[in-house]
Structure 1
Amino acid sequence: MLAKPFGKPIHVFVGLGFPRQINTVVDAYQFALEWGGNSPEQRAAVRACKAALAGEVEADTARGVFIEFARRKDILIEDEFVTPATLGTRPNHV
């Protein structure tokens, strides 16, 4: 199975707010499978990653679906927060 790297990594929060970098379709697929629950967004992310791994869609298509899953679960670290100084901290939501 090929790793199929994303054009740009995705950063998500895991556990108690620790950041994790998702670099490939395989990373995203494993993360979505391991996520607790069975939401439509999670199922869509798993399906999109499977399709990318099978060569049916581009890796960045799966990336977009995974980003929407992460955003809806409030674990996505938006690009403006991804800097070396802030990667280790979760921003305060006002």
Structure 2
Amino acid sequence: MKVGSFSHPIHVFVGLGFPYEISSVMEACQVLDEWSGSRTSIHAATSAACRSALAGKTDVESARLAFEAFALAQGILAPDALETGDEQSDRFRFSVN
């Protein structure tokens, strides 16, 4: 696991609504830097949390939680596609047997 990696990735909708996996503080910063929506106080606080984690001043999981809250507030938080797919395949596998 690289430095600054999240314990669990966060999936967000970007562009035309495609899901994108954010798995590190650096990727979260990139989304925040390229954000075309309103730069509200939650955007500023999330950016500060991520930059603080990049500088080693706060822990990575705090930045992850801040980014997840930002994504939820902005309506771009996507369901975890990988977990959903695994759960569906497990249900199918068990119902067939």
TM bucket by the smaller chain?
0.7 to 0.9
Aligned pairs for 1:6-85 (under 5 A) are 6-36=6-36, 37-79=38-80, 82-84=83-85
The normalised TM-score by structure 2 is 0.77
CA distance in 1, matches of 2:15, 2:85: 20
How many residues are treated as equivalent by the alignment? 84
The one-letter code sitting in structure 1 at the alignment partner of 2:60 is A
RMSD: 2.1
Consecutive unaligned residues in structure 2, runs of 5 or more: 87-97
Higher CA-based Rg: 2
Q: Unpaired segments of 5 or more residues in structure 1?
A: 86-94
Q: Decide which structure has greater helix share.
A: 2
Query: Measured at CA, do residues 74 and 81 of structure 1 come closer, stay the same or move farther in structure 2, by a change above 3 Å?
Result: farther
Q: AA paired with 1:83?
A: T
TM-score w.r.t. length of structure 1: 0.79
